[in-house]
Structure 1
Amino acid sequence: MSDQPIAIEHLCFRVPPGGQLAFLREDERIWGAALRQQPGFLGKEVWLDAEDPELVHLIIRWASRAAWKAFPPERAEALDRQMQPFYVRLEQAKEYQLWQPNLLGEEPAS
């Protein structure tokens, strides 16, 4: 296991329900293809918000924060420009790390 915790990138977009299918298709075509080529990318999930049907949550898993931040910023900007016709508004961008007891000097349970 890595000595760095898995990093989670959580992006939340406000997309009217009538535009969500186009948004999700283009996100997979544009960002999905690029992410799968990036070392340290572990996967991505899409969550639709039951309480607010306009919210689309993207949960992106990285092997480490360093792997995530190694994604070239100029590449991210170019991909974002391609997605602009499909974005309505980025509501939030958050970062999480997977808690792993052994990273805190604790021994794994036997």
Structure 2
Amino acid sequence: MVIEFLKFKVDPDLREAYIQKDAEIWTTALARYPGFLGKEVWINPHNFTEVVFVIHWETKEHWQAIPTEDLQAIEQTFSQAVGHGYELVESGEYQVRKFPHS
């Protein structure tokens, strides 16, 4: 499993609407692609501007197979719905390692 990690700075007054629209637009769109396993939303209780998305993909190939044009169209729809009160501040890729319990 591969993790797509995205950290955003969001206007704190828009945070809940931002998260709801993300679920409606981004998560719904990504769920249509093969290899999408799910998505978690992490909010920082001490920093109301921080929103983290942890997106689970079966493989990196599945994740990277989404056409750029599709991603741009989804982002355009999303930004029209929520405005410009957010900024991507960090992104990364992680692999999940599981170890047997002793």
- Name the counterpart of 2:63: 68
Identity score, percent: 35
Which stretches of structure 1, 4 residues or more, deviate above 6 A after TM superposition?
none
Query: Normalising by structure 1, what TM-score?
Result: 0.80
Tell me, in whole angstroms, the C-alpha distance in 2 between the residues paired with 1:28 and 1:41: 14
Q: 1:14 and 2:9 equivalent? A: yes
Q: Which segments of 5 or more consecutive residues in structure 2 lack a partner in the other structure? A: none
Contact 1:22 1:86 in 2 (8 A): no
Stretches of structure 1 that go unaligned for 5 or more consecutive residues are: 1-5, 102-107
- Rg: which structure is higher? 1
Counterpart of 1:32 in structure 2: which amino acid?
Answer: T
Cα distance, 1:87–1:78 mapped onto 2, change above 3 Å = farther
Aligned to 1:51: 46
Q: Whose strand fraction is larger, Structure 1's or Structure 2's?
A: 2
Match of 1:95 among 87, 93, 100: 93
- Coordinate RMSD, CA, aligned: 1.8
TM-score, normalised with respect to structure 2: 0.86
For these two proteins, the number of residue pairs brought into alignment is: 98
